[in-house]
């Protein structure tokens, strides 16, 4: 992995382990996360694993997870 960037094909991220939530449904509708060697985190669509990967810093992922845990994004899935 010479250069990691937003929008690169997820298949180009070699030697990473993709993980999705145990809450993912049987149709695979979930996002997957992979820790990158530099400490960043890549995110991809589990329905299109060869598609683009979004790359975030550890601090960006931490802020997002804290917001999720605090319920800041519940309105996105509550009743449409």
Alpha carbons 8 and 53: distance in angstroms, whole number: 6
d(CA 19, CA 15): 13
CB atoms within 10 A of CB 5: 8
First to last CA, the chain: 39
Query: What integer pLDDT is reported at residue 1 of this predicted model?
Result: 61
DSSP, res 78? S
Q: What is the pTM of this model?
A: 0.86
Write out pLDDT tens, residues 16-66: 999 988 888 777 678 999 999 999 999 999 889 999 999 999 999 999 999
């Amino acid at each position: 992995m010479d250069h990691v960037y937003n929008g690169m094909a997820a298949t180009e991220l070699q030697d990473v382990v993709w993980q999705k939530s145990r809450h993912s449904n049987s149709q695979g509708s979930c996002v997957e996360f992979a820790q990158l060697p530099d400490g960043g985190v890549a995110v991809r669509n589990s329905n299109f694993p060869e598609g683009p990967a979004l790359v975030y810093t550890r601090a960006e992922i931490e802020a997002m997870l804290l917001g999720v845990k605090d319920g800041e994004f519940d309105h996105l899935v509550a009743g449409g």
